[in-house]
Amino acid sequence: MQPPDLSLLVVMGIFWATYWVLRITVFKPLGHILEEREATQQSATSALQMGLDRQKEVLADIDRRLTDARREAMAQRESLRATGAARRQTMLDAAREKAQGLVAEAQGRLEADIATSRAELKGNATAIAVDIASNALGRRIA
């Protein structure tokens, strides 16, 4: 009879000793590193999501404020435009009235000048007629 082959037990002992050494020196530290990495990744992902959510809120607030500012600027522009149009119309009306006054004044002066010129022409017409007749007759007519 042969003694049992103890090489299997030796190999198993070496295997478990190697496993125990590797577990303490490699697997546990590596497991901790991987867990820390996973936790860091999770916290970074949640921080990123919170940042994206905050960014969306800020952008929505900025967009809302821009829309309100545009609305207010358009209202002010329309108000200023209406005020300017009213002022322009007032100035145009004043200029028209002034022009009509100047035209009426000039018309009055022209009519006065025409009346004066007609009166002078009537007086001159008689003198001219006398001169023409005197020249035509060759003698002086009184």
DSSP string, 72-109: HHHHHHHHHHHHHHHHHHHHHHHHHHHHHHHHHHHHHH
What is the pTM for the complete model shown? 0.47
Residue 142 confidence class, pLDDT cut points 50, 70, 90: low
Q: Which residues contact 134 (CB under 8 A, 6 or more apart)?
A: 140, 141
pLDDT surpassing 80 at residue 46: yes
CA–CA separation, 48 vs 41, rounded Å? 10
Q: What is the pLDDT of residues 52-86, one digit of tens each?
A: 999 999 999 999 999 999 999 999 999 999 999 99
- CA triple 27-29-35, angle to 5 deg: 95
Are 134 and 140 within 8 A, CB to CB?
yes
Taking residues 91-117, what's their average pLDDT? Answer: 94
